[in-house]
Amino acid sequence: SILYVSLHRYDEGNFFPGSGAPNEVGSGPGEGYNINIAWTGGLDPPMGDVEYLTAFRTVIMPAANEFDPEIVLVSAGFDAVEGHDPPLGGYKVTAKCFGHLTKQLLKLADGRVVLALEGGHDLTAICDASEACINALLGNELEPLPEDIVHQIPNMNAIASLKKTTEIQSKYWKSVEPYSVPVDCALAESQKREREETETVSAMASLSVDVEQCMPQEGSR
């Protein structure tokens, strides 16, 4: 009855603590309810905004929507925020990106999202990321992500990591599709496609309403 999801530096088990492999999916009745996006490839290059946003788009949000949680609990660790030395993570995710990731989670469980500060080792990074997440929780307008970010595709190490995760998790979640190379689309193209789909649904709904209004009512004949 609980879906657990984690994004973390893994490097084939060579980064502390060495657990959280993509094939650790849970056992017994919990099999398939443990999703590990286990980044590999070290820091050549380090994971950043594009990689985390892509993980949310291709794995986390599809599976979470399919699971349909009653509440979302976030262990808000900020080790991935830029500013941490390589032994402590070395990734380059911006605080701004964490705000946008939080905003996506608010679409789940009717917005019942709880963040608990868990980790991070750089005080400035922790403060900036916490502020960005709180702004999202408050419904404040978030500063948009840079144009170069939304038009990028993930680095090859991230693609390899996402391929492993999606190949495993697609067995358990209909909404998670095996990741293909080259990347199907950059974030900007995905957002454009989502807008087009939303506009299509709205147009169909409007057409349905118009048809109903044109139909003669039972008692008006």
CATH number of the domain enclosing 104: 3.40.800.20
Residue 175 lies in a domain: yes
Residue 35 lies in a domain: yes
Residue 199 lies in a domain: no
Residue 186 lies in a domain: no
Name the stretches of the chain with pLDDT < 50: 182-184, 220-221
CB atoms within 10 A of CB 9: 23
pLDDT computed for residue 212 by the predictor: 53
Residue 150 lies in a domain: yes
Domain span at residue 24 reads 4-179
Residue 200 lies in a domain: no
pLDDT computed for residue 179 by the predictor: 85
Rounded-to-10 torsion of CA 77, 80, 84, 90 = 140
Residue 92 lies in a domain: yes
Residue 116 lies in a domain: yes
Does the global pTM surpass 0.85?
Answer: no
Do you find a cis peptide bond into 45, omega within 30 degrees of 0?
yes
Total count of domains within the chain: 1
Provide CB contacts within 8 A for 199, sequence distance 6+: none
pLDDT computed for residue 181 by the predictor: 58
Task: Report how far residue 31's alpha carbon sits from residue 198's, in angstroms, rounded to the nearest whole number.
Answer: 33
pLDDT computed for residue 184 by the predictor: 44
